[in-house]
Amino acid sequence: MIRTFCTHEIRKVRELSGSLWEFSPCTGDLAGRKYRTAVPCCWESMPDFSSYRGVGVFSREIETEGAFRLVFKGVSHTARVCLDGREIGSHYNAYTPFAVAVTDVMAGRHLLEVYADNTFGEASALHIPNDYMSYGGISRGVLLEELTDTYIEYIHAVPIMEKDGWKALVSVKVKNWSAAGKACRLNLDLAGIASEAIKLTLEARGEKTVDFQLSAAEAEVWEIKNPKLYTIRATLSDENGAFDDQIDRMGFREIRTEGKDILLNGKKLRIRGFCRHEDHPMFGCALPYAAIQQDLETAMDLGANAIRTAHYPNDELFLDLCDEQGILVWEENHARGLTLEHMQNPNFERQAETCIEEMITAHINHPSVIIWGILNECASDTEYGYECYKKQYDLIRRMDFSRPRSSASCKFKTDICFGLPEIVSYNLYPEWYHETPANEYVKDIYDWVQRESEGSGKPFLVTEIGAGAIYGFRSHTLCKWSEEYQAKALENQITAVLEQEGCSGIFIWQLCDVRVSDEWFTSRPRTMNNKGIVDEYRRRKLAYDVVKRIYHAYEDK
C-alpha cells in the first residue's frame, strides 16, 4: 500500500511492493544465499539477519516496455538500482523518496535488482551509529509508472487566507523526456470548486513549472476536529485526448506564529504530543498500514494532538493518516546528535540539504505538517554550526513560506541559533539525566531564553522530555528504570511544561520503546531506548494512565 487514496486515474501504475522478492546478502558468511521475502521489509526482520549490517540485493522480474519510472518511497540507507544488470539509478538516505526513469525498453520480462546498503562510513554524514536503529532493506513501497513522453512530476498546493477568503497557490511541474517538442493542454481542478486550463509547449527533453492561483472562498477549513480534505487534480491532454494525470490532496488551514503563540487558523495552539520513531520489533522501520494506524490510535487515546517524526521524514502513509484524522505533525530532516566534527564531514551539507529538498517536495501538500524541523541536538553552539543551520533554514523558506521552522536543541544556555527560526525548541530531561526538579528546570531554561537569547518573544516548545522504564519492572523503592519511577517523573515533567506560562506545548519522548544501534549505546538496557509510554510491543506501562489523565485534562485549556 503506497497511499490511502488513488493518485492516478489515467496513468497506469503498478505496485511492485506488496509481493515476494528474492533477497540475497552480498557480504558476510551467508553471502550469495537466496531467500524469499516480502517487500517492503527490513532484513533485520528475517531470521538470519537480525543484526546484519552490510549490502543485500532484492530482485524480481517485471514485465514492461517503452518508457517508465520506478518510484521508491524508501531504501535503507543507500540504494543502487539495476535493470538487466545495468545500473539505472542510485540514492542516498533511507527516509526520502526517489525515482528512476527509463526509456526505450524492449517489450518483455526484465530483471530488476535493488542493492541496499546499511553500512556506516565516511561517505555517509547522516546515517551514523545512533540512538535509533538504521535498518537495511526496501523499507517503503515501490511503484512502476508507465509514462508517455510527457508527464506530470508533481502538484504543489499551498493554502493562503486573504481578506476575500481562501486561495490555493498551485505549482505543477511537467517534464518531456522525448527528443521532440510537445504541445499539450494542462487542466487543473480543485474538487470542483475551482479550475484553470492553459496551453503548454515544451522543448525536447525540457520541463516547465506552471503556477496558478485558485480562488476557493467556499472551502471548509482543515482543523483538528474537522480535518476537511480536498482533491486537486492535474491532467495533460492533446488532440488525441487526456494522456496523463496526477491527483493529490490538500487542506485549507493557516499555521503561523504571533508573539509567543503558535496560531492554527487564528486560534492559539497548545501542543500535546509524542515523539515517534518508525520502529517495531516485527517489522523494523517498515511498518505496515495497520501498525501505523495502531500507533496513531494509541496517541489519540492518550490525548495527543501532535506527533514529532523523530528524527527523519516519515512514510507518506503516516502523513495521509494524520491528514485524515486531524493529527498535527512536526516533520524534520534526517540529523540527530551530530557533533561539530560530524557536521564538518564534506558530505554533510549536501546530504542534509538534499534531504530537506526531497522531504518538502514530497510532503508540502500535507495539511497535518505544521512545522519543518532540522538538525536535532546538533552543534548549534558553534559558529560553523550556525552557518549550517542558517543555510538549511534559508532553504526551507525558499521552498515553503507557509510553515514555521524550528530545531530541537539540548545546548543549555549556549545555543546561538535561536534567532534563525520562528519557534524555539528544547529537549529537557529533569529528574532523569539530572536531579533538578522539573518545575525548576523548565522555568530556568524558559527564563534564560526570554532574558538572554535571540529566541526572546518567540513561541517556546519542549520537544523532548521523559524518563525510562523497563516494561514489567516494578519496585516500591521508586528506583530508576521502574515503571513507578517513570510514571512519577512524567507526571512532574508534563505538569511543569504545561503549567509554564508562555510555553506552547510538549512532545513527550517517546510513544514506544525502540531499538538503538548496537555500535552506539550498548549501555542502554536491552540495547533499547526504553522511554516509551508503551513498550516495543505496544504494551502499556504504568505511565500510560498518568499521561492520559494529564493530557485529557489540558484539552480545552
Q: Does the pLDDT value for residue 10 go beyond 70? A: yes
Task: Give the pLDDT score at 179.
Answer: 86
Question: Using CB atoms within 10 A of its CB, is residue 19 exposed (0-12), middle (13-18) or buried (19+)?
Answer: exposed
Q: What is the mean pLDDT of the chain?
A: 96
CA distances from 330 to 88, 137, 456, 461, 513 (A): 34, 26, 22, 11, 20
pLDDT band at 444 (very low <50, low <70, confident <90, very high): very high
Q: Which helix (H) or strand (E) holds 495?
A: helix 483-499
Say which DSSP state 557 is in: -
- Specify whether the CB–CB gap between 82 and 51 falls below 8 A: no
How far apart are alpha carbons 484 and 416 in whole angstroms? 38
Domains in the chain and their CATH numbers? Answer: 12-146 (2.60.120.260), 150-250 (2.60.40.10), 267-465+491-510+543-553 (3.20.20.80)
Q: What is the pLDDT of residue 104?
A: 86
What per-residue confidence (pLDDT) applies to 556? Answer: 76
d(CA 48, CA 26): 14
Q: Which pLDDT score, from 0 to 100, does residue 314 have?
A: 98
Helix (H) or strand (E) holding 353: helix 348-363
Query: 460 and 516 in contact (C-beta within 8 Å)?
Result: no
When pLDDT is averaged across residues 276-283 and rounded to a whole number, the result is 98
Q: What is the per-residue pLDDT across 89-146, written as a single tens digit (0 to 9) for each?
A: 999 999 999 999 998 899 999 999 999 999 999 999 999 999 999 999 999 999 999 9
Q: What is the mean pLDDT of residues 234-248?
A: 97
Structure confidence at residue 350 (pLDDT): 97
pLDDT in tens, 310-327: 999 999 999 999 999 999
Contact 513, 453 (CB under 8 A): no
pLDDT at 470 over 80: yes
Q: Which three cell numbers stand for residue 308?
A: 514529532
Q: How far apart are CA 90 and CA 104, in angstroms?
A: 20
Beta-strand relationship, 78-83 and 98-117: antiparallel
Helix/strand/coil (H, E, C) string of 180-208? CCEEEEEEEEECCCEEEEEEEEECCCCEE
Residues 6+ apart with CB under 8 A from 391: 349, 353
3-state secondary structure of 221: strand
Percent of the chain with pLDDT over 70: 99
Q: Is the pLDDT of residue 370 over 90?
A: yes
Residue range 446-473: mean pLDDT, rounded: 97
pLDDT tops 90 at residue 502? yes
DSSP 131: S
What pLDDT does 109 receive? 97
Encode 309-341: b = buried (16+ Cβ within 10 Å), e = exposed: bbbbbbbbbbbbbbbbebbbbbbbbbbbbbeee
Q: What is the mean pLDDT of the segment spanning 227-248?
A: 97
Vertex 176 angle, CA 173 and 177, to 5°: 130
Q: Helix, strand, or coil here: 357?
A: helix
Across the range 328-354, mean pLDDT stands at 97
Answer yes or no: is pLDDT of 479 > 70.
yes
Q: What is the pLDDT of residues 523-547, one digit of tens each?
A: 789 999 999 999 999 999 999 999 9
Residue 178 binned pLDDT confidence (cut-offs 50, 70, 90) = confident
Helix runs in 201-347, H state only: 289-301, 316-325, 340-343
- Written as nine digits, the cell of 252 is 485549507
Residues 6+ apart with CB under 8 A from 13: 7, 143, 144, 145, 146
DSSP structure string for 224-282:
TTEE--EEEEEEEEETTEEEEEEEEEE-B--EEEETTEEEETTEE--EEEEEE-S-BTT
Backbone angles phi, psi at 490, to 5 degrees: -65, -40
Please give the grid coordinates belonging to residue 242.
Answer: 487526456
What pLDDT score was predicted for residue 521?
Answer: 66
pLDDT over 90 at 520, yes or no: no
Three cell numbers written together for 88: 539505472
222-229 mean pLDDT: 97
Place of cell 520541463: 207
Pairing mode, if any, of strands 182-190 and 230-238? antiparallel
Query: What values do phi and psi take at 439, rounded to 5?
Result: -65, -30
Query: What contacts 240, CB < 8 A, 6 or more positions away?
Result: none
